[in-house]
Chain A
Amino acid sequence: MKILIVLAALAALVAVTSASGCDKLQRLKVKGQWSRAYSSGHDREDFSQAIWRAVFAQVPDARALFKKVGGDDTNSGAFVAHGLRVLAGFDITVALLDQPEALKAELAHLKTQHDARHIPDNYFEAFRLALGHVLPAQLGRCWDKQAWSDCFEVIAHGVKGH
């Protein structure tokens, strides 16, 4: 009987810790997987293009937000630069997942940059889904969907402010 109680308590503990979302271990995993997928040079440009094309395929209207930075042509220099700029910001948030104070500061910074653009929530969702397809394409089996889903939520929540 006692053992059952202990087991139940343990099960409850596991449930509580895993339900918290984006825990410490998940953060480490996401960091490691991101740095492999993010890569460098031409590979990074291709990675970025793939993500943005996947975003625009889902929400074509989002292109209008990127008019000033060459959104009409994802191959243009202006858009390549912009796409990489956004990923560089995302890279900072991922890198800081295990440094709460600095993460908070970076998310606040990104929030002010996005506030004025009035980005609907479904665009963030499109970005999440785009990542959810391009990352496994880049990483193969070594991709943890749940960890990404949980930790992306932390980042998107910070940038959106809600």
Chain B
Amino acid sequence: MLRLFVLLCLGAFCAAQEGRSHCCSAEDRNIVQKQWSVLWKDTESSKVKAGFARLILLKLSEQKPETKALFTNVDIDHPQGGVFTAHCLRIVNAIDMAINLLDNPEALDAALDHLADQHHARAGVKKEHFKAFGDILAGALPRLLDDYNIMSWRSCFRGLYAKITSKLDA
């Protein structure tokens, strides 16, 4: 009984934390950074990164058709084109920045706050879109990365998504 109580308290404490929390422990952060860095080993990895983000965004627009209109500005109708490719790299680089800042909480907060502002400014972006994006990303990463620790990624990314979506109305 006591054990259950302690577990429940721990769970509640985890849920109450936002951003980087003790649930995304130092070792979790190390693991995420190390596993993510594999993507950046090769000079030509920008093609892999853009391709990866392209697949995720296209899948998102398939699952949540209303999101497609949100990417009209960046020419989602021509996903292989330069405009959309550049946008894909922007998204990958934002994720990369957050991951590389995982152990600098103050700077990470500032970076995520800025991303939250940028998404708040886009009318029509909803929390459920980030939920879908997160699920697709979590499904795709283990196909791309040979080493993928699902628990570490999940605990660290939960905080990231909470911060990025914190300024959305819906």
**Chain A residues at the B interface, C-beta cutoff of 8 Å:** 28, 31-32, 35, 40-42, 44-45, 69-70, 76-78, 80-82, 84-85, 88-89, 91-92, 95-96, 99-106, 109
| Contact of A95 with B89 in the complex, beta carbons under 8 Å | yes
What would 12 more interface pairs be, CB under 8 Å, given A77-B108, A102-B86? A35-B45, A40-B100, A77-B110, A81-B101, A81-B107, A81-B108, A84-B97, A88-B94, A92-B90, A95-B46, A103-B86, A105-B82
Partner of B89, one of A28, A44, A77, A96: A96
- Name the residue on A nearest B36 (C-beta): A40
- Name the residue on A nearest B90 (C-beta): A92
Q: List 21 A-B contacts (CB under 8 A).
A: A35-B45, A40-B37, A70-B110, A76-B106, A77-B104, A77-B105, A77-B107, A80-B101, A81-B111, A82-B114, A88-B96, A88-B97, A89-B90, A89-B93, A92-B89, A101-B85, A102-B86, A102-B89, A103-B82, A103-B86, A105-B86
- Name the residue on A nearest B92 (C-beta): A92
B81 to chain A, nearest CB (A): 7
Given contacts A31-B43, A77-B104, A77-B109, contact A85 B114 (CB under 8 A): yes
Q: Which residues of A contact B49 (CB under 8 A)?
A: 95
| Contact of B86 with A80 in the complex, beta carbons under 8 Å | no
Query: Is B103 located at the chain interface by the 8 A CB criterion?
Result: yes
- Name the residue on B nearest A92 (C-beta): B89
Interface of B is mostly: helix
Partner of B100, one of A28, A31, A41, A77: A41
| Contact of B107 with A105 in the complex, beta carbons under 8 Å | no
Partner of B82, one of A76, A78, A91, A101: A101
Q: Which residues of B contact A91 (CB under 8 A)?
A: 93
| A87–B49 CA distance with the chains assembled, in angstroms | 17
Given contacts A77-B106, A81-B108, A109-B86, contact A96 B101 (CB under 8 A): no
| A44–B104 CA distance with the chains assembled, in angstroms | 12
Query: Is B13 located at the chain interface by the 8 A CB criterion?
Result: no
Q: Which residues of B contact A28 (CB under 8 A)?
A: 43
Partner of B85, one of A31, A32, A41, A102: A102
B100 to chain A, nearest CB (A): 5
| Contact of B83 with A105 in the complex, beta carbons under 8 Å | yes
| Contact of A84 with B100 in the complex, beta carbons under 8 Å | yes
| A95–B49 CA distance with the chains assembled, in angstroms | 10
| Contact of A82 with B110 in the complex, beta carbons under 8 Å | yes
| A6–B14 CA distance with the chains assembled, in angstroms | 75
Q: Which residues of A contact B105 (CB under 8 A)?
A: 77
Query: Is B33 located at the chain interface by the 8 A CB criterion?
Result: yes
Q: Beta-carbon contacts of B100-132 to A below 8 Å, as 1s and 0s?
A: 110111111111001000000000000000000
